[in-house]
């Protein structure tokens, strides 16, 4: 594990600990590029931790108490950057995985939901993201729930692209 990822995991554990001390039984959910970092075990590092948590005022207070400084939409402490996502549409139907990191369970957006989110950039022409999606589909093919992906994907272009990637990899 690289040094930045180790620091990010340590920060995440501190945040989770403070949230539990505040009486919450749920902890933030990793989303966005940092979720990609987690699923690829650091192969695609992200300089920012993107987290989803329903109580934003508490979350901001915890980050400030941990020494983070608010800069626009971000909280910064040294080389660690945290973004509190307001992407709450992920909560009602989103599925989250618990992954053990450094002896503690952390919540990460499901790989299916991450792929759906990434596909938005792919269909807009970002070939790098398209290649990452193909790599993730190939790596996790046997565990991916394609039915869920097709059901949740709102954009028909995305469904078509997922089917194209699925077919090109395993036909």
How does pLDDT run across 111-141, given as a tens digit for each residue?
998 999 899 999 999 999 999 999 999 989 9
How many alpha carbons fall within 13 Å on the CB side of residue 66?
25
Q: What is the mean pLDDT of the chain?
A: 88
Number of Cβ within a 10 Å radius of residue 21? 9
Q: Which residue has the higher pLDDT, 160 or 103?
A: 160
Give residue 91's pLDDT: 56
Give residue 42's pLDDT: 83
The answer on pLDDT for 74 being more than 70 is yes
Residues 6+ apart with CB under 8 A from 167: none
Give residue 59's pLDDT: 93
Distances (CA, A) of 14 to 5, 36, 43, 84: 14, 21, 23, 15
Instruction: Name the residue with tokens 């979350």.
Output: 59
What is the set of domains in the chain, with CATH numbers?
Answer: 3-109 (3.30.460.40), 112-169 (no CATH)
Distance CA 118, CA 133 (A): 7
pLDDT band at 4 (very low <50, low <70, confident <90, very high): confident
Distance CA 56, CA 54 (A): 6
The answer on pLDDT for 60 being more than 90 is yes
How does pLDDT run across 89-119, given as a tens digit for each residue?
555 555 788 888 778 888 898 899 899 989 9
**H/E run at residue 69:** strand 69-71
């Amino acid at each position: 594990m690289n040094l930045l990822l180790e620091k990010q995991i340590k920060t995440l554990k501190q945040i989770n600990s403070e949230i539990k001390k505040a009486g919450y039984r749920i902890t933030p959910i990793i989303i966005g590029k940092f979720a990609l970092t987690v699923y690829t075990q650091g192969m695609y590092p992200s300089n920012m931790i993107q987290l989803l948590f329903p109580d934003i005022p508490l979350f901001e207070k915890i980050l400030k108490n941990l020494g983070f400084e608010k800069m626009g939409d971000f909280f910064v402490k040294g080389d660690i950057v945290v973004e509190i996502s307001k992407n709450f549409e992920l909560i009602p139907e989103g599925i989250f995985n618990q992954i053990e990191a450094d002896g503690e369970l952390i919540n990460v957006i499901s790989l299916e939901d991450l792929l759906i989110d990434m596909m938005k950039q792919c269909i807009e022409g970002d070939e790098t993201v398209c290649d990452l999606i193909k790599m993730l589909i190939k790596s996790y093919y046997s565990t991916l729930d394609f039915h869920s992906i097709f059901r949740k994907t709102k954009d028909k272009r995305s469904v078509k692209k997922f089917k194209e990637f699925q077919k090109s990899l395993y036909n």
